[in-house]
A and B are shown apart, each in its own frame.
Chain A
């Protein structure tokens, strides 16, 4: 592995975190080898490349491994800096982008997981929190085209893979993102007009099937 040239991505097809990296690589026009991982039977390469978390995504670049999706995206932005900047250049705008991407990381996935994993009262609580999180994000988006303004950037990339999961969340918890957060839904559609996004995000029906598979595995009916 050491000294190997090129870019390799260890990933799982449906992972929103992996998709962040794929979108970033597509935005930058970087050629890479995609290696689908079996997370029930983790490869030696994955375990060696990410001994701390043993998770995907992992980017391998010229023999070095970089882990954690937002850190990988920032790395990609710095290495392939000649095209499609993902983080703004101005320090305050950069800080704002990092703040909201961090917020998305802290809040969205954990709450969304409770949405499909829990039932009854606990699910209602999760649904309420989920909508609150997205209303906050909607507030930050405002009337801008993208979170970064006119250009698709770091925060958009951090959030957009979850758009493919809306159908699954709506179906499991019985609500409508269009009703609750119409600006976010409209923003999602604008992002999907970009090839990097539309070619990367999973089909919402397939995501829902995957969630059903997870529910079965966790014994949630």
Chain B
């Protein structure tokens, strides 16, 4: 008998969206449990005692936490539509590397770029651009719709599910984060991602997410000014 699949999440969390998209791409039915992040359920705290965060996937009664770990788990269990290269350790390592890069170097430099000001911010933005350029070049070399080729892969999922933040920050702060002259391939990839059928079926509308990101960003700016 098939074990139940539950996903503890929050409607606006980009980390949760990653898991939702992966499950959807693989045709996996699951129950979504919306968590109030100000008042986390006892189940969530039980299933993720280390970080107490969403997303947590519960398969049967076995929890898996941390979005990148969950994505790999989903790919290991449900073999349809692989999101990681199959039988190619080098390509596998490359996708892992770039996902790790997005969640560490790229996202840290993005965070620094939006939280600082003046000269410090200019430096942070430059570093963010240097980091984004690696992805721009990767897309230029590959010449395909997605990082995964014609189909969305794990790297597409990992960056794609956060990309509404770029627009949110640019619109709120007037910062030129992603210059179309410097990052044409990245912007084209972004459009491909947000317009893809599977993404539209699962992820909340881009505009709604952008507005939500703006509300978070306003709080961050307000907090940093105190």
Contacts and interface: CB of A to CB of B under 8 A. Distances in A.
A189 to B, nearest CB: 26
A52 interface: yes
Contact of B97 (A67, A102, A103, A136): A67
Contact of A102 (B68, B76, B90, B134): B68
A92 B97 contact: no
Shortest beta-carbon contacts, A-B, top 8: A78-B89, A91-B76, A95-B73, A75-B93, A98-B69, A95-B64, A71-B96, A99-B69
Interface string A70-105: 011011001100000000000110110011001100
Given A74-B96, A103-B50, 20 more contacts: A51-B134, A52-B101, A66-B90, A66-B93, A68-B97, A68-B100, A71-B93, A72-B93, A74-B92, A75-B93, A78-B89, A79-B89, A91-B76, A91-B77, A92-B59, A92-B62, A92-B64, A99-B64, A102-B66, A102-B68
Interface string B81-120: 0000000011011001100110001000000000000000
Contacts of A66: 90, 93, 97
B72 interface: yes
A123 B93 CA distance: 37
A71 B97 contact: yes
Give the interface residue-count category, chain A: 20 to 34
A218 interface: no
Give the interface residue-count category, chain B: 20 to 34
Interface string B36-67: 00000000000000100000000100101110
Contacts of A95: 64, 69-70, 72-73, 76
A64 B180 CA distance: 32
A75 B89 CA distance: 6
Contacts of A64: 90
Interface of B: 50, 59, 62, 64-66, 68-70, 72-73, 76-77, 89-90, 92-93, 96-97, 100-101, 105, 134
If over half of B's interface residues share one DSSP class (helix, strand or loop), that class is named, otherwise mixed; here it is helix
Contacts of B90: 61, 64, 66, 75
Interface of A: 51-53, 61, 64, 66-68, 71-72, 74-75, 78-79, 91-92, 94-95, 98-99, 102-103, 136
A71 B73 contact: no
Contacts of B105: 52-53
Nearest to A94: B76
If over half of A's interface residues share one DSSP class (helix, strand or loop), that class is named, otherwise mixed; here it is helix
Nearest to B96: A71
A99 B105 CA distance: 19
Contacts of A75: 89-90, 92-93
B93 A92 contact: no
10 contacts: A66-B97, A75-B92, A75-B93, A78-B89, A91-B77, A92-B64, A94-B76, A95-B76, A99-B66, A102-B68
A81 to B, nearest CB: 9
Contacts of A71: 93, 96-97, 100
Contacts of A92: 59, 62, 64, 73
A99 B69 CA distance: 6
A136 B69 contact: no
Contacts of B96: 68, 71, 74
A26 B90 CA distance: 20
Contact of A74 (B50, B93, B101): B93
B68 to A, nearest CB: 7
Nearest to A62: B90
A43 to B, nearest CB: 21
A136 B93 CA distance: 29
A139 B59 CA distance: 23
